[in-house]
């Protein structure tokens, strides 16, 4: 199945049944007086968190206690708390963005990292707690906030809420057309995710609204509208998807074709003419509701790869993206020898790389020289700091490639392995959507390479380190909430561990890299 239909929307749709089966309403678990006391305790804990990040664990516990108040007041209290946290995070995020741009991360930014960790942990606790609320009143409150133009809820949380409201009765669903405005793309995307999660039972409720979004000026909205129509099993969607084929190209066109295949289970071809011919000859029973819909699989569609653009490879992974960012480790451990002996084959042959760093540089230079005109690229190295070759993505030209190769050659190996800042800088270069009214991304493919676990000096009075792998993965999920960026991961010199975690409960580097790739539509490669 394509990336579009195997991303956020489909994950929501597949998980809804499990959520519905396991959900238990606890609306009467707390008397009103007790519920209000729990809410007051939560608000106090969040205020303390703003003053002292060390109280993050207390804030998480206070939030999770709200699960016993399953109703409109409890949901609103949690949603208000999420807005408060978003407001607390905003200046910290802005400070980090400036620092990463200017310095690539430094000791000055470590404190902000620690502050954000506590805020993010609490926000994720809110998402988990809202997931336990299944009463119609609580779900209706969530949907209202999804459509609230003035809400400051971050996009990742809106997408989480979109999946939660799928159990809301049809007569309680409230679809609004204002999402067609470019500035309201976030609300539209969240509502489209809701529609996709509702699936076949909601076609007659929101199919018309979803179809309207096929003409939205935001490309990302149009992609998600096409994907949602494929999951709604709404017969009228067939003709509307076919009609849009002649107006679209690229990723939007792929989403339209995938949506048609999912709806019908058919694959007459990739042209509008072939689908119109199929509609005239065989489509009447599908459009008329006589044949069941949403039984297909986009993976059955025969894709024409003859014109696909592949520009070389990086560690055996084809470089098919239009805008590629290489994020790679230049910590001191990269000087370690490769397990396989170096050497050369044949007289006059270039010597094989003998260290991890030699291999990394050789692959990078080969990958860069394989890029084609029309593509864009950039580089981010990380050790104690994260540094970028350029502040924005660069067009592929002989001059830019030559300068990038020289930049790689001039890099020195340094202490630490600052994975978090490197990925954050990468998504800052890409554009994370929430700060861009059109949700444009400057990066569609990221290659991430490392030879070890994240290592950053511990922070805080408690001695807790901010750089554990689970938190990094959670952060990437937030930054890549729309799944725009494929992340391929390369491990050098790492053991192929069979278990997930070490004796301290931390993911092994190999498992971390595998998960990073799996969760972001990429491939994982291990080189020793």
Check whether residue 321 and residue 282 sit in a common domain.
no
Check whether residue 33 and residue 18 sit in a common domain.
no
Check whether residue 275 and residue 320 sit in a common domain.
no
pLDDT band at 338 (very low <50, low <70, confident <90, very high): confident
- Across the range 475-481, mean pLDDT stands at 91
Quote the pLDDT of residue 440.
Answer: 55
Quote the pLDDT of residue 486.
Answer: 93
Quote the pLDDT of residue 426.
Answer: 94
- Pick from 303, 327, 362: which residue ends a domain? 303
In this predicted model, which residue has the larger pLDDT, 381 or 349? 381
Quote the pLDDT of residue 427.
Answer: 93
Alpha-carbon gap, residue 281 to 467, rounded angstroms: 59
Check whether residue 387 and residue 514 sit in a common domain.
yes
Which DSSP letter does residue 500 get?
A: S
In this predicted model, which residue has the larger pLDDT, 502 or 12? 502
- Whether 394 is covered by a domain: the verdict is yes
Answer yes or no: is pLDDT of 1 > 50: no
Check whether residue 423 and residue 323 sit in a common domain.
yes
Number of domains, the chain: 3
**Domain interval for residue 412:** 313-527
- Whether 323 is covered by a domain: the verdict is yes
Which DSSP letter does residue 350 get?
A: P
Answer yes or no: is pLDDT of 220 > 80: yes
Answer yes or no: is pLDDT of 387 > 70: yes
- Pick from 112, 133, 154: which residue ends a domain? 133
Quote the pLDDT of residue 26.
Answer: 40
**Which region among 100-109, 157-166, 179-188, 482-491 has the lowest average model confidence (pLDDT)?**
179-188
Contacts of 43 (CB under 8 A, 6+ apart): 77, 81
Between strands 376-382 and 386-388, the pairing is: antiparallel
Task: Report the percentage of the chain scoring pLDDT > 70.
Answer: 80
- Across the range 183-212, mean pLDDT stands at 80
Q: What is the DSSP string of 67-136?
A: GG--SHHHHHHHHHHHHHHHHHHHHHHHHHHHHHHHHSS-HHHHHHHHHHHHHHHHHHHHHHHHHT---H
- Across the range 356-384, mean pLDDT stands at 95
- Whether 490 is covered by a domain: the verdict is yes
Quote the pLDDT of residue 11.
Answer: 45
Instruction: Give CA separation, 244 vs 211, 213, 252, 256, 500, in Å.
Output: 10, 11, 10, 8, 46
pLDDT band at 33 (very low <50, low <70, confident <90, very high): low
- Whether 138 is covered by a domain: the verdict is no
Answer yes or no: is pLDDT of 38 > 60: yes
Check whether residue 9 and residue 52 sit in a common domain.
no
pLDDT band at 453 (very low <50, low <70, confident <90, very high): confident
Which CATH number covers residue 401? 3.40.50.410
Q: What is the DSSP string of 192-240?
A: HHHHHHHGGGGHHHHHHHHHHGGG-S-HHHHHHHHHHHHHHT-TTHHHH
Answer yes or no: is pLDDT of 460 > 80: no
Quote the pLDDT of residue 158.
Answer: 85
Q: What is the pLDDT of residues 45-85, one digit of tens each?
A: 999 998 888 888 999 999 999 999 999 999 999 999 999 99
Check whether residue 11 and residue 33 sit in a common domain.
no
pLDDT band at 16 (very low <50, low <70, confident <90, very high): very low
In this predicted model, which residue has the larger pLDDT, 140 or 146? 140
Which CATH number covers residue 279? 1.25.10
- Whether 417 is covered by a domain: the verdict is yes
- The answer to whether 209 and 246 have CB atoms below 8 angstroms apart is no
The secondary element (H helix, E strand) that includes residue 394 is: strand 394-395
- Whether 152 is covered by a domain: the verdict is no
Quote the pLDDT of residue 505.
Answer: 67
- Whether 447 is covered by a domain: the verdict is yes
CA 416 from chain centre, in angstroms, equals 26
In this predicted model, which residue has the larger pLDDT, 134 or 23? 134
Alpha-carbon gap, residue 511 to 503, rounded angstroms: 14
Phi, psi (5° rounding) for residue 520?
-130, 30
Check whether residue 387 and residue 521 sit in a common domain.
yes
- Pick from 303, 323, 354: which residue ends a domain? 303
Closest of 103, 522, 527 to residue 324, by C-alpha? 522
Check whether residue 199 and residue 345 sit in a common domain.
no
The secondary element (H helix, E strand) that includes residue 318 is: strand 317-318
Check whether residue 296 and residue 364 sit in a common domain.
no
Check whether residue 328 and residue 465 sit in a common domain.
yes
Alpha-carbon gap, residue 64 to 126, rounded angstroms: 7
Check whether residue 76 and residue 3 sit in a common domain.
no
Half-sphere exposure of 121 (CA within 13 A, CB side): 22
- Whether 151 is covered by a domain: the verdict is no
- The answer to whether 385 and 103 have CB atoms below 8 angstroms apart is yes
Answer yes or no: is pLDDT of 245 > 60: yes
**What's the chain's average pLDDT?**
82
Instruction: Give CA separation, 201 vs 134, 205, 290, 294, 492, in Å.
Output: 18, 8, 16, 11, 48
Quote the pLDDT of residue 299.
Answer: 78
């Amino acid at each position: 199945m394509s990336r579009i239909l195997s991303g956020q929307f489909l994950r929501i749709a597949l998980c809804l049944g499990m959520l519905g089966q396991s959900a238990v309403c606890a609306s009467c678990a707390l008397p009103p007086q007790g519920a209000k006391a729990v809410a007051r305790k939560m608000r106090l804990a969040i205020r303390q968190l703003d003053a002292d990040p060390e109280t993050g664990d207390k804030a998480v516990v206070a939030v999770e206690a709200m699960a016993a108040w399953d109703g409109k007041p409890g949901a609103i209290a949690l949603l208000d708390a999420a807005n408060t946290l978003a407001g607390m995070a905003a200046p910290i995020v802005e400070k980090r963005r400036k620092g990463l741009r200017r310095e690539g991360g430094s000791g000055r930014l470590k404190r902000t990292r620690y502050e954000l960790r506590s805020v993010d942990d609490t926000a994720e606790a809110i998402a988990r707690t809202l997931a336990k609320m299944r009463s119609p009143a609580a779900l209706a409150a969530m949907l209202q906030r999804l459509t609230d133009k003035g809400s400051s809820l971050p996009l990742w949380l809106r997408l989480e809420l979109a999946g939660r409201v799928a159990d809301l009765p049809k007569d309680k669903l409230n679809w609004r057309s204002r999402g067609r405005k470019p500035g309201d793309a976030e609300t539209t995307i969240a509502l489209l995710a809701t529609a996709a999660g509702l699936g076949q039972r909601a076609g007659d409720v929101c199919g018309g609204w979803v179809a309207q979004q096929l003409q939205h000026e935001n490309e990302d909205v149009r992609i998600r509208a096409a994907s949602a129509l494929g999951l709604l099993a709404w017969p009228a969607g067939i003709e509307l998807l076919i009609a849009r084929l002649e107006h679209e190209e690229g990723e939007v066109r792929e989403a339209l074709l995938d949506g048609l295949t999912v709806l019908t289970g058919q694959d007459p071809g990739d042209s509008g003419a072939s689908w119109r011919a199929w509609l005239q000859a065989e489509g009447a029973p599908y459009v008329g509701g006589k044949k069941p819909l949403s039984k297909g699989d986009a993976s059955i569609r025969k894709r024409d790869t003859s014109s696909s653009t592949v520009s070389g490879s990086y560690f055996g992974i084809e470089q098919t993206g239009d805008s590629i960012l290489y994020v790679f480790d230049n910590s001191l451990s990269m000087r370690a020898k490769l397990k396989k002996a170096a050497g050369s084959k044949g007289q006059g042959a270039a010597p094989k790389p003998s260290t991890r760093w030699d291999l990394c540089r050789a692959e990078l230079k080969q990958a860069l020289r394989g890029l084609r005109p029309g593509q864009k690229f950039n580089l981010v190295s990380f050790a104690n700091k994260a540094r970028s070759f350029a502040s924005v993505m660069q067009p592929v030209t002989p001059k830019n490639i030559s300068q990038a190769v020289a930049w790689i050659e001039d890099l020195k190996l340094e202490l630490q392995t600052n994975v978090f800042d490197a990925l954050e800088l990468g998504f800052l270069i890409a554009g994370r959507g929430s700060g861009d009214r059109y949700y444009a991304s400057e990066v569609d493919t990221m290659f991430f390479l490392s030879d070890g676990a994240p290592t950053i000096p511990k922070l805080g009075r408690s001695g807790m380190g901010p750089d554990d792998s689970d938190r990094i993965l959670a952060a990437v999920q937030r930054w890549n909430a729309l799944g725009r960026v494929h992340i391929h991961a390369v491990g050098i010199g790492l053991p192929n561990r069979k278990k997930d975690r070490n004796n301290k409960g931390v993911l092994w580097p190999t498992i971390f890299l595998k998960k990073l790739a799996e969760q972001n539509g990429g491939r994982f490669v291990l080189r020793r």
